[in-house]
Amino acid sequence: MCSSAPDGTAIPSVFIDNSRTRVTEWRFKNRGDATGWHTHEYDYVVVPLFDGFLDIDLPNGETTRAELKTGVPYFREVGVEHNVKNGNDFECAFIEVEFLKVQPKGF
């Protein structure tokens, strides 16, 4: 993810950061904790570490609610602008895997 905006209250922990991949855990301790507004610079996959909901604010003022299941990943493409918020009454987290560099086939 690009760096979190100042209004972000979620806690990022980067586990891997090399020329091809960045792996970050995002932890939301309380309902309403948020990443802050950001735009993704790379394609990415999210792997939830909980069963529950994330509320996602979109640039048009709309908020969508995503239901997540532990270990069931989803993929998003570069350029997604949003603010992710904890929609649960419990602490939750997910792993975000960003693909920083396209590796040619056969390598």
How do the domains of the chain map onto residue ranges?
11-99
Give the pLDDT score at 49: 98
Are 36 and 8 within 8 A, CB to CB?
Answer: yes
In angstroms, the CA 23 to CA 2 distance is 12
pLDDT tier at 101, thresholds 50, 70, 90: confident
Say if residue 7's pLDDT is above 80: no
| Confidence bin at 9 (pLDDT 50/70/90) | very high
Q: What distance in Å separates the CA atoms of residue 76 and residue 104, rounded to the nearest whole number?
A: 20
> How much of the chain exceeds pLDDT 90, in percent?
85
- The CATH classification number of 11-99 equals 2.60.120.10
pLDDT in tens, 49-58: 999 999 999 9
- Band the pLDDT of 103: cuts 50, 70, 90: low
Predicted confidence (pLDDT) per residue in 39-49, tens digit: 999 999 999 99
Tokens encoding 53: 């909901």
